[in-house]
Structure 1
């Protein structure tokens, strides 16, 4: 019988990250409520505007450093970490959204209009990037346990000379598993950049379902021959599942690069704030 998958609860090593992000979010939300009533309020002087946006921008830049650091502590195979990383990005998304609202409430002086718009675009882009990561990590939380379970299928785990009823029982179990996975994946709408990835995952489980069905359709006295054929075809499929799991780690690395890009943009904007 296939072993039951265990969800292993492990503490994230940097719990202070959550409290820092939460405090920054609260700070920005409070700031957005206290910074006036939006356009139509009194135009700020250059010095007052600089002080306000420095407070907002410094908080965002500080928290981005913790987000990128947390990515380096996660393995793509360790899917029990992904929910916690998703929570990190959800907080980052809220921080960008709070910064956008706080900035939107300000009435900048004329000499800061271009900077003001660039900052708003930056915070909007940050919110979008973090939101995409939240959705992507949600998808990975679903598919990674499924892909890991390919190594635990019943048919490949049978002894060398199983009885025909053992072969059929294992094949029935694996077919139900693949059909359950395919049903679960039917209603998922992935982020744009992960559509092809999800199609590959669906294709993998579809192939395994068909391979297992072939074993079930074997004529009596041909079960061992059918099992041997399955095992031979299973090896490359197992490798494909491993590759799809590795794609998650590569995706997280790519996400880190995108966050690095945001940090670089944020640094350039910080320099412009100082020159104001």
Structure 2
């Protein structure tokens, strides 16, 4: 499986977009057929060939469709169908970014949802077709990213910032460096105002977002180690759990696996969309 990930090179765009990524499974390629996508506080725009199927198995049912689509922030783990060849060119946005983009202005944050998108509507007359972008992603990743930067620049320049988005961005910068109860004092605002602004922009609570960030960091840490080197008691304390049973309950709730099961299947639960590759 081909996989690359690159940041935006335009500061005005990078303010809203964390990275661009590309994964492809060719007819002769081998990979996990049904990997799992971990909970993620970020939204993704997934650019795919017009007639290519997508399939997300959620707790509440299956979402199917064709072509490009939005993958909105989600609390739950999704199971993907990668059993057939596919190509996905992705845009991973910073948490809460959609609140500031004109296409979503005035809307409540969307969570736990996958929705079709017409790129010609999003980018107006700047967009040609998905095929050209996919071919660039295969042949010239740097040029592909430059093209995406040029498409997103007008959206970034026309973005809307207010007191809620500004305070949310400040909170995100320090969210993983201390306790949530201290954030209000750090940012010189009341805790109630901080919580309300953060939820208005992201649709999440501070605790939910911090928990997702911790899960991603922990799974990346585990993925980089051999099974024999994993000490679950040590990991529990390293990532802020009071004990191993607390860690077990946390993993079962968020990814549906116990530590022992995850140890056997951890390649199946790595975030392949703008995160760590399972290849």
Give the structure-1-normalised TM-score: 0.23
More strand by share: 2
Please tell me whether Structure 1 or Structure 2 has the larger radius of gyration of its CA atoms: 1
